[in-house]
Amino acid sequence: MAHAENSITINRPAREVYDFLADGLNNTAWREGVKSISLKEGRAGEPGAIYSQTLTGPKGRPLQGDYKITTAEPGRLLGFEVVAGPARPTGTYTLAGEAGSTTVHFALDARLPLLMRVLDSMVTRTMESEVAQLSRLKQVLESR
């Protein structure tokens, strides 16, 4: 199984960080590979909401990476699963707030189909790059 995780402390209250993460339309502000995103189904930030996003794939080609929110506990936990694309990881943002700052832990896991397991290390590297973008999230939120 491919796995990646990262944590960072952001100098903003947990609810503010959560609200920003839960609104998938903010992804273009901090996730480098997201070229476009829209709310396809459901209510923004709520379980069952599906976001349609176009990502930059290998060799710069567009790649669909739609995802669905699976868990939403405001200020504490946001879970999702990718429902379109070659790799379909699940992810969680776990938030812990204290004195106006928030520690965000971002974890991604992907069970690859048997035929894709040869790509496990490449998928892991891609996921590691994704969770590393928490530093960009910190910059965006702290500059607001």
Q: What is the pLDDT of residues 87-102, one digit of tens each?
A: 789 999 999 999 999 9
70-78, Cβ contacts within 8 angstroms, sequence gap of 24 or more: 71/47, 72/22, 72/45, 72/46, 72/47, 74/15, 74/18, 74/19, 74/22, 75/14, 75/15, 75/18, 76/14, 76/18, 78/18, 78/21, 78/22
**Per-residue pLDDT at 21 exceeds 70:** yes
* pLDDT the model gives residue 133: 97
More confident residue, 31 or 124: 31
Which CATH number fits the domain that encloses residue 97?
Answer: 3.30.530.20
* pLDDT the model gives residue 72: 98
**Per-residue pLDDT at 70 exceeds 80:** yes
Please count the structural domains in the chain: 1
Residue 137's H or E segment, with its range, is helix 134-142
- Per-residue model confidence as pLDDT tens digits over 33-43: 999 999 999 99
- Which is nearest to 68 in space by CA: 8, 24, 30? 24
Tell me the mean pLDDT in the region 122-135.
88
Taking the chain, what is the end-to-end CA distance rounded to the nearest angstrom?
37
- Per-residue model confidence as pLDDT tens digits over 114-126: 655 556 667 778 8
* pLDDT the model gives residue 96: 98
Range(s) of the domain holding residue 98 = 2-142
Query: In whole numbers, what is the pLDDT of the chain averaged over residues?
Result: 92
Cα 73 from Cα 95, distance rounded (Å): 10
Tell me the mean pLDDT in the region 45-67.
93
* pLDDT the model gives residue 117: 54
Convert 67-102 to b/e letters by CB count within 10 Å (16 or more is b): bbbeebeebeebbbebeeeebbbbbbbbbebeeeeb
* pLDDT the model gives residue 125: 85
Cα 105 from Cα 101, distance rounded (Å): 13
